[in-house]
Structure 1
Amino acid sequence: MNPESTATKSSPPAILLILLILLIAGSFAADSLIRFPVPGTNEPHYLCKAKHYWNPQWCAGDFFLESSNAHRFFYQVVGFFTQWLTLAQTAILGRLAGCLLLAIGWYRLLRVLTPGIWSPLIAAWMFLGIAAIGNFSGEWIIGGIESKVFAYGFLFLAMANGCEQNWNRAAIYLGLTISWHPVVGVWGLLCALFALACYALVQRKSLSRASLVLNIKQAIPACGWLILCSLPGLVPALSLLQGGTPREEFSANFIQVFYRLKHHLDPMDFNTFSYLMYGFLLAIWLLFRRKENTTFSLRFFQYFIAGTLGLACIGFLLGAGPRPASEMPYYAFRMSLLKFYPFRLFDSLLPLAVTVTLSNTVYQRWFKQEKTDPDAATGNRRIRAGFIALLSLCLLTTVLYSAWIAPPVHKMTARQRADWIDACHWIQNNTPESALFLTPIHQSDFKWYAQRPEYVTYKDCPQDAPGIIEWNRRLKYLRKWGQDYYNKGFDDQALQVLHQQTGITHLLVKRLGPFNTIKPVYQNQTYKIYKLP
């Protein structure tokens, strides 16, 4: 191990360590629960799939639930609890567990990279403040529970052990990252290899042949641990890449990159504020990182962040060009790479890099003053520490307050939301489990409340090529069916065609209609429920 690889730091008492981790986890959980009430944006998507994985009879016949399982490891682990807990209880338990894992990884990484016992907590509050402003490509870490939340917790642990050159542990945690979320894990692995390559290139004159041989010997068992721990999630993910013909792959890539997930994958779709915000954050990081110490830990971390920046730049070059996208040169090849989320780690980890750099800059100024004037520094240090603690606490309060007053993510008024849940509960209590529903296309939590299968919904898109194409076909069919019969009127013939072509037995509608030949079996002020004849 390089003698400069780790800084000798006195560990805080066990009680204080536990308190710090719990405070960080509590801050993450508070922001998650206030800003994203259960069910969060993706929780119906993930947890309904996880419940169906363990109980295929639940919502049997739902197109999305019976599609391929891209995040099988998450469904296996978290879905196990849905057999005894409700979906809401599973979501809360998952959030608490995810926030605790994130807090442990966050504390370990920040303790390696920053001085001061309380710096991990203050940095967590700074991170929440930056995340509350916005993001670059729609990526987030603190929110509802899904596979990437656990993945980022293990990625933080992997980065911390990588900074300390504990390669076997880093490989184990990185393998677990891949198992929980292959995209996050594989990009993390590439950035870690990039960081090591950069360090070796910079230090090539001081690295002896013996040290290179030793590093290679240490890398062999680490690779074994990495492969072993990554298999549970990597195997299902790789199977998705081989599930269609070349024509299907081309069509699915286009649908995914330039339609369904363009807000994550197409840099031409990102808004101007996102570019300005992350340009500002990048400028801060590049400006202040030069003032940080040059230990192996910080260099490894800085090169890792530089790797995420490189991936984002590659993603921008792949996606930049005229629209429609078919006018871009080699657009088929370019979109086949864009579908792997090249902006994901840069989006999530640049705010972390900024918090680390600002924390180190502040502490280094304190230490410099202590060396020049030790007597005057003690009192000043306490005043500054109290001021920063108060400022950070005010920041956390502002973040939680902004989450409290933010509009709901489902974009409904309170009356509409109550009517939606009321209609779903009526369906759960008064329709057979074999019923198949046509629901408003852009809703996301029908299965969560009604516990009945859907024909198709915009949110629940499969991730294999045949599934994506079928998802798109179903949406196009419903759009065409509505257009064909809108002027003629939705009579018995229209309803019979819909039932024969789709198997739909019930309709839950808000604006669709009028249906002249059938009457709703239930309705409230916003929604109507019909049973097809």
Structure 2
Amino acid sequence: MIHDETQGRETFLRTQTRETFLWTGVIIEIALLMLLFYVYAGDPAPHVNEAHYLVKAKNYWDATWCEQDLFAASGKAHTTFYFLFGWPTRFVSLAATAWIGRIVGWLMLAIGLCKLTRALIPIPFASLVVAVIWIAGVEYGNLAGEWVVGGIEAKVPAYGLVLLGLAALVHRQWNWVWTWMGAAASFHVLTGGWSVIAAMVCYAVTELRRVDDGRTKWQWQGLLCPGLFIGGALALFGLLPALWLTSAASAEDSVAAAQIYSYTRISHHLTPAMFPWSWYARHGVLVAAMLGLGWAMRDTLSRRLFWFGCGAAGIAAVGLLIGMLPSVMPDLAAKLLRFYWFRLTDAVVPLVVGLLLLRGSYALQDLRAESQETVRRVAHWIIAGAIGLVGWSTYERGRIGIPPSASDRLLRPYADSSVTEQRAAYADWLAVCQWIRVAMPENEVLLTPRHQQSFKWYAERAEVVNWKDVPQDAASLIEWDRRFREVLPNARVTINYAKLQQYHSRYGVRFMLVDRRITGANLPLIRVYPMADEINETYAVYELPHP
């Protein structure tokens, strides 16, 4: 009896030790994934879209902040994100809020990727290799400019939840699939919504029709399950705000706004005719790799993930067909193209390639015999190439040492500026924004340079219009387009006195911030900055003539 009790206690302790060891390994793996994300995307804030999303989030929590700004005060589409990630703006700076959001968003991605990878590849730390392939594939193989690992915005937590949904999909846990993906749609309705469609494609191919004793049976349980309704209810938190923004617009305004959005402002993400041919080629290589791996893999776990990837690529194929409509039905095409048909394929196809490649390389029993050696050899080259590409991207951004939103790679016409020139211009940008924040009232509205995107972030003052900050609701979007065409049709704001007086009366704007590299060192206006001992070779502030 005593011996049996002792033996049972030892077995229990061994089990507990094993479970503790496994959990420790998972925690370390997640921590290493977050370290990888930090090394790759830990640039100074704000990242490209952080100045866009967090400015909106700050106004969501404090409606008086930049309340005169067309973009900041316009309708809020991503209210779940603003509510959950924007509240720190009440207590800390925008930069601190960005880092809090990054940590949470990267943690969600890391947990989701770790869980998904372990569902397919029973090798500790395999998710690190998958992550490198995924990051490289998204950056260098996208079709429409999508990214996943970067600064914080609504799609980052959404993709983290999609990854959890994919882990459930691999194991046929359909209740959880719909729940996680519905939660993703609450953050970003398109990211989560397209994922639901792709998951339904997977279900239709792998689950819906089964043959038993020569008879076809239709399996509806995975669709008509509680998770679908729970996920649908969660998705309403993302869907209803988006519908609310469009509900008040007339038919004419809806069409006009869609054309501005699809054909002008976001055409580089939405309109296939605007994609360079090289983007088609590079993404086509990824899709071909996914199809080849899907053919080579024969196990059911890989098959379900593969068909989800096919669903994502199929959505993009529909988008390409819609992209043929503008010449014959431009209004309908503009309204349809707004739905980011290529977003999911950009994010998912590289992920599926990385997972299937690694599963095929290190779980060779799941490959057809004639494919084993080829896949393993190719995998080694791809892993090495992905490490090189991610390392190069990290080096390129790190050597500049300024936020991506302030990089001259985005701010035309200085895409070829040297590192020294970019750092000097950024220091001058910080200086002029700091001066405006201190010297001007909180309700001030300014004219600002055309392609900058971080004025509100640093100066915390409203601006008449800029290229990046495009509103989501139809009325504000049409007004944005009108302002942009009126005020900033060229690289510089006009210095015609009559027009400047009109701007003063129409927008309540008294001052103009200019890029002196474009306007020259001096304008025939009253300069208020820099003055006396102040030095700023890149930017200046002028007072507009009164009516």
TM-score bucket (shorter structure): 0.7 to 0.9
Q: 1:132 to 1:253 in 2, by over 3 A?
A: closer
Contact 2:297/2:303, CA 8 A, preserved across alignment: no
Q: What's the RMSD between the two structures over aligned residues?
A: 3.1
Partner of 1:56: 63
Contact 1:265/1:343, CA 8 A, preserved across alignment: yes
Partner of 1:508: 513
Partner of 1:172: 179
Query: Counterparts of 1:169 and 1:369 in 2: how far apart (Å)?
Result: 31
Q: CA deviation at 1:281?
A: 1.2
Partner of 1:422: 431
After superposition, residues 9-158 of structure 1 pair within 5 angstroms as 13-34=22-43, 37-158=44-165
- The residue type equivalent to 2:433 in the other structure is C
Query: Counterparts of 1:434 and 1:406 in 2: how far apart (Å)?
Result: 34
> Does residue 1:256 correspond to 2:261, yes or no?
yes
Q: 1:399 to 1:62 in 2, by over 3 A?
A: closer
Q: CA deviation at 1:522?
A: 2.9
Q: Secondary structure at the residue paired with 1:529? A: strand
Q: CA deviation at 1:187?
A: 0.7
Deviations 1:100-139 (A, max 9, x none): 1001011111122234223222111222233343521011
Contact 1:179/1:232, CA 8 A, preserved across alignment: yes
> Does residue 1:221 correspond to 2:226, yes or no?
yes
Query: Counterparts of 1:445 and 1:342 in 2: how far apart (Å)?
Result: 28
> Does residue 1:242 correspond to 2:262, yes or no?
no
Q: CA deviation at 1:146?
A: 0.1
Deviations 1:291-325 (A, max 9, x none): 21321x3222111111111111111111136xxx4
Task: Please identify, of 503-512 and 61-70, the stretch whose mean Cα deviation from structure 2 is larger.
Answer: 503-512
Query: Counterparts of 1:119 and 1:84 in 2: how far apart (Å)?
Result: 39
Contact 1:522/1:530, CA 8 A, preserved across alignment: no
After superposition, residues 278-289 of structure 1 pair within 5 angstroms as 278-289=283-294
1:490 to 490, 496, 501: 496
Partner of 2:340: 341
Query: Counterparts of 1:58 and 1:277 in 2: how far apart (Å)?
Result: 43
Query: Counterparts of 1:330 and 1:84 in 2: how far apart (Å)?
Result: 49
- The residue type equivalent to 1:531 in the other structure is E
Q: CA deviation at 1:402?
A: 4.3
Deviations 1:168-205 (A, max 9, x none): 22222112101000011111111111111112466345
Contact 1:127/1:352, CA 8 A, preserved across alignment: yes
- The residue type equivalent to 2:261 in the other structure is Q
Partner of 2:349: 350
Contact 2:313/2:345, CA 8 A, preserved across alignment: yes
Partner of 2:463: 454
Task: Please identify, of 513-522 and 460-469, the stretch whose mean Cα deviation from structure 2 is larger.
Answer: 513-522
Deviations 1:46-96 (A, max 9, x none): 001101111112112111111000111111111111111110011111111
Q: Secondary structure at the residue paired with 2:55? A: helix
- The residue type equivalent to 1:306 in the other structure is C
Query: Counterparts of 1:101 and 1:200 in 2: how far apart (Å)?
Result: 28
Partner of 1:411: 407
Query: Counterparts of 1:215 and 1:496 in 2: how far apart (Å)?
Result: 64
Query: Counterparts of 2:345 and 2:332 in 1: how far apart (Å)?
Result: 22
Query: Counterparts of 2:159 and 2:401 in 1: how far apart (Å)?
Result: 27
Query: Counterparts of 1:442 and 1:502 in 2: how far apart (Å)?
Result: 19
Contact 2:25/2:124, CA 8 A, preserved across alignment: no
Query: Counterparts of 1:480 and 1:106 in 2: how far apart (Å)?
Result: 44
* TM-score (ref. length: structure 2): 0.84
Q: CA deviation at 1:220?
A: 3.3
Q: 1:463 to 1:389 in 2, by over 3 A?
A: closer
Contact 1:243/1:464, CA 8 A, preserved across alignment: no
- The residue type equivalent to 1:519 in the other structure is R
Q: 1:385 to 1:47 in 2, by over 3 A?
A: closer
Contact 2:209/2:219, CA 8 A, preserved across alignment: no
Partner of 1:360: 359
> Does residue 1:313 correspond to 2:307, yes or no?
no
Contact 2:98/2:152, CA 8 A, preserved across alignment: yes
1:526 to 538, 541, 544: 538
Q: CA deviation at 1:228?
A: 2.3
Query: Counterparts of 2:237 and 2:176 in 1: how far apart (Å)?
Result: 18
Q: 1:301 to 1:482 in 2, by over 3 A?
A: closer
Q: CA deviation at 1:343?
A: 0.5
Q: Secondary structure at the residue paired with 2:463? A: coil
Contact 2:133/2:386, CA 8 A, preserved across alignment: yes
Contact 1:490/1:515, CA 8 A, preserved across alignment: no
Q: CA deviation at 1:224?
A: 2.2
Larger RCO, structures 1/2 (Cα 8 Å, 6+ apart): 1
Q: 1:389 to 1:350 in 2, by over 3 A?
A: closer
Query: Counterparts of 2:367 and 2:275 in 1: how far apart (Å)?
Result: 42
Query: Counterparts of 2:226 and 2:181 in 1: how far apart (Å)?
Result: 14
Query: Counterparts of 2:210 and 2:86 in 1: how far apart (Å)?
Result: 47
Contact 2:529/2:541, CA 8 A, preserved across alignment: yes
Partner of 2:375: none
Query: Counterparts of 1:320 and 1:190 in 2: how far apart (Å)?
Result: 22
> Does residue 1:300 correspond to 2:304, yes or no?
yes
Q: CA deviation at 1:240?
A: 2.1
Q: CA deviation at 1:366?
A: 7.8
Q: Secondary structure at the residue paired with 1:13? A: helix
Task: Please identify, of 469-478 and 391-400, the stretch whose mean Cα deviation from structure 2 is larger.
Answer: 391-400
Between Structure 1 and Structure 2, how many residues are aligned? Answer: 499
Q: Which runs of 5+ in 1 are unaligned?
A: 1-9, 371-383
Q: Secondary structure at the residue paired with 1:241? A: helix
Query: Counterparts of 1:206 and 1:22 in 2: how far apart (Å)?
Result: 49
Partner of 2:169: 162
Query: Counterparts of 1:260 and 1:481 in 2: how far apart (Å)?
Result: 15
Q: 1:291 to 1:521 in 2, by over 3 A?
A: closer
Query: Counterparts of 2:423 and 2:397 in 1: how far apart (Å)?
Result: 17
* TM-score (ref. length: structure 1): 0.86
Q: 1:480 to 1:361 in 2, by over 3 A?
A: closer
